[in-house]
Amino acid sequence: MAAHRCGLSLVCILFFSSLAHPSRCDTLEKANDNTATKRSISEVNTDGSVAGEDMNERQWQSTDVEVNRSDGTKNSETFTPAPAKDQFQEELVIRPLHSGDIYASFQFRTLWDTDFLQEGQKKVSHYRLFPKSLGQVLSKFSVQELHISFTQGFWRTMQWGQPFIPSPPGAELWVWFHHTVSDVDGNWKELTNVLSGIFCASLNFIDMTNTVQPSASFKPLGLGNATDHRFLRYATLPREIVCTENLTPWKKLLPCGSKAGLAVLMKSEKLFHSSFHSQAVHIRPICQDEQCTSKAWELRQTLNVVFDHYTSGQGKKEWSLFKMFSRTLTEACPLASSSKVYVDITDNPEGELFELSPATPLLSQAVVLGDRRTYSVYDLTRAETFGQLRSFNLLLRWKGDSGDMLRPLLHAERYVAGFGLQTGEIHTVIYNNHPYRAFPVLLMDSVPWYLQLYIHTLTVTSKSRDNKPSYIHYQPAKDRHRPHLLEMLIQLPPHSMTEVTVQFERALLKWTEYTPDPNHGFYVGSSVISALVPSMVAMSTNFTQDQPLFSSFVPVKEESSYFVRVYTEPLLVNLPTPDFSMPYNVICLTCTVVAVGYGSFYNLLTRTFQVDEPSPPLAKRLANFIRRIRGVPLLA
Partner 1 sequence: MAAPLTLLLIVAVTIRAVLFRSSLAELISERVEVVSPLNAWKRVVEGLALLDLGVSPYSGDVFHETPLMIYLFHFTVDYAEIVFMVSPYFVDCLSCFLASLDRFRKQKYALESDRYPADCLELLRSPKEMFYIPLKVAMFYLLNPFTILSCVAKSTCGLNNAIIALFIFCTLKGSALLSGILLALATYQSIYPLTLFAPALLFFLQRLYIPVNLRRSSFWCFTLQYAFIYVGSLVVITGLSFFLLGSWDFIPSVYGFIFSVPDLTPNIGLFWYFFAEMFEHFRLFFICVFQINVFFYTIPLSIKLKEHPVFLIFMQIAIISIFKSYPTVGDVALYMAFLPAWSHLYRFLRNIFLVSCVLLACSALFPVLWHLWIYAGSANSNFYYAITLLFNFGQILLVSDYFYAYLRREHHLTHGLYLKKKDGTEATLVLK
- Asked if 601 touches partner 1 (CB under 8 A), the answer is yes
| Residues 487-506 within binding reach of partner 1 (CB under 8 A) | 505
Which residue, 225 or 606, is less far from partner 1 as judged by CB?
606
Q: In terms of Cα–Cα distance, which of 338, 339, 334 is closest to 259?
A: 334
- Asked if 590 touches partner 1 (CB under 8 A), the answer is yes
Stretch that binds partner 1, among 78-86, 291-299, 359-367, 585-593 (CB under 8 A): 585-593
State how far the Cα of 506 lies from the Cα of 513, in Å rounded to an integer.
14
- Asked if 609 touches partner 1 (CB under 8 A), the answer is yes
Q: How far is the CB of 463 from partner 1 (least distance, A)?
A: 25
Q: How far is the CB of 480 from partner 1 (least distance, A)?
A: 7
Question: Residue 159: CB partners within 8 Å, gap ≥ 6?
Answer: 97, 98, 99, 101, 405
Q: How far is the CB of 590 from partner 1 (least distance, A)?
A: 4
Q: How far is the CB of 53 from partner 1 (least distance, A)?
A: 57
Of the residues 10, 11, 537, 586, which one makes contact with partner 1 according to CB under 8 A: 586
- Asked if 635 touches partner 1 (CB under 8 A), the answer is no
Beta carbons of 343 and 382 less than 8 angstroms apart: no
Sign of CA pseudo-dihedral 207, 192, 552, 339: positive
Q: How far is the CB of 597 from partner 1 (least distance, A)?
A: 4
Question: Residue 149: CB partners within 8 Å, gap ≥ 6?
Answer: 165, 167, 168, 171, 172, 173, 278, 279, 280, 281
The region that residue 395 occupies, defined by phi over 0 for left and psi between -120 and 50 for alpha, beta otherwise, is beta
Q: With 0-12 CB in 10 A as exposed, 13-18 as middle and 19+ as buried, what is 150?
A: buried
What are the DSSP E strand ranges found in 116-165?
Answer: 143-152
State how far the Cα of 225 lies from the Cα of 570, in Å rounded to an integer.
30
Collapsed DSSP state (helix, strand, coil) of residue 301: strand
| Residues 416-455 within binding reach of partner 1 (CB under 8 A) | 419-423, 449, 452-455
Stretch that binds partner 1, among 78-86, 301-309, 429-437, 478-486 (CB under 8 A): 478-486
Of the residues 76, 475, 496, 545, which one makes contact with partner 1 according to CB under 8 A: 475
| Residues 612-631 within binding reach of partner 1 (CB under 8 A) | 612-613
| Residues 507-536 within binding reach of partner 1 (CB under 8 A) | 507-512
Of the residues 26, 66, 290, 479, which one makes contact with partner 1 according to CB under 8 A: 479
Q: How far is the CB of 265 from partner 1 (least distance, A)?
A: 48
Site for partner 1 (CB under 8 A): how many residues?
A: 54
Of the residues 608, 615, 618, 619, which one makes contact with partner 1 according to CB under 8 A: 608
Q: How far is the CB of 422 from partner 1 (least distance, A)?
A: 5
Give residue 136's identity as a one-letter amino acid code: Q
- Asked if 10 touches partner 1 (CB under 8 A), the answer is no
Which residue, 404 or 612, is less far from partner 1 as judged by CB?
612
Q: How far is the CB of 511 from partner 1 (least distance, A)?
A: 5
Report H helices in 20-78.
22-30, 34-46, 48-67
State how far the Cα of 598 lies from the Cα of 476, in Å rounded to an integer.
40
DSSP state of 409: S
Query: CA of 125: how far to CAs of 4, 121, 131, 132, 268, in Å?
Result: 18, 10, 12, 9, 33
Query: CA of 557: how far to CAs of 267, 532, 554, 561, in Å?
Result: 38, 10, 9, 8
Which residue, 206 or 509, is less far from partner 1 as judged by CB?
509
Of the residues 1, 593, 619, 629, which one makes contact with partner 1 according to CB under 8 A: 593
Which residue, 418 or 534, is less far from partner 1 as judged by CB?
418
State how far the Cα of 301 lies from the Cα of 419, in Å rounded to an integer.
42
What does the angle CA 608 – CA 613 – CA 616 come to, to the nearest 5 degrees? 140
Q: How far is the CB of 513 from partner 1 (least distance, A)?
A: 9
Question: Residue 371: CB partners within 8 Å, gap ≥ 6?
Answer: 346, 535, 536, 537
Radius of gyration of the chain (CA): 33
Beta carbons of 130 and 107 less than 8 angstroms apart: no
Which residue, 454 or 625, is less far from partner 1 as judged by CB?
454
Of the residues 598, 625, 626, 628, which one makes contact with partner 1 according to CB under 8 A: 598
Q: How far is the CB of 525 from partner 1 (least distance, A)?
A: 19
- Asked if 415 touches partner 1 (CB under 8 A), the answer is no
Query: CA of 583: how far to CAs of 575, 576, 595, in Å?
Result: 19, 16, 18
Stretch that binds partner 1, among 264-272, 347-355, 400-408, 602-610 (CB under 8 A): 602-610
What are the DSSP E strand ranges found in 59-152?
Answer: 87-96, 102-112, 143-152
Of the residues 10, 19, 241, 587, which one makes contact with partner 1 according to CB under 8 A: 587
Of the residues 81, 249, 493, 578, which one makes contact with partner 1 according to CB under 8 A: 578
Stretch that binds partner 1, among 6-14, 131-139, 146-154, 608-616 (CB under 8 A): 608-616
Q: How far is the CB of 546 from partner 1 (least distance, A)?
A: 47
The binding track of 105-144 with respect to partner 1, each residue x by CB under 8 A or -, is: ----------------------------------------
Which residue, 243 or 507, is less far from partner 1 as judged by CB?
507
Report H helices in 180-263.
184-199, 244-252
Which residue, 245 or 479, is less far from partner 1 as judged by CB?
479
Which residue, 406 or 572, is less far from partner 1 as judged by CB?
572
- Asked if 56 touches partner 1 (CB under 8 A), the answer is no
Of the residues 140, 397, 478, 557, which one makes contact with partner 1 according to CB under 8 A: 478
Stretch that binds partner 1, among 59-67, 337-345, 472-480, 548-556 (CB under 8 A): 472-480
Stretch that binds partner 1, among 9-17, 70-78, 426-434, 597-605 (CB under 8 A): 597-605
Give residue 428's identity as a one-letter amino acid code: T
Beta bridge partners of 372: 367
Collapsed DSSP state (helix, strand, coil) of residue 29: helix
Give residue 168's identity as a one-letter amino acid code: P
Give residue 337's identity as a one-letter amino acid code: S
In the chain the first and final C-alpha atoms are separated, in Å, by: 117
Q: How far is the CB of 514 from partner 1 (least distance, A)?
A: 10
Q: How far is the CB of 517 from partner 1 (least distance, A)?
A: 16
Q: In terms of Cα–Cα distance, which of 302, 328, 367 is closest to 71?
A: 367
Collapsed DSSP state (helix, strand, coil) of residue 452: strand
Residues that bind partner 1 (CB under 8 A): 419-423, 449, 452-456, 472, 474-480, 484, 505, 507-512, 576-579, 582-583, 586-587, 589-590, 593-594, 596-598, 600-601, 603-605, 607-613
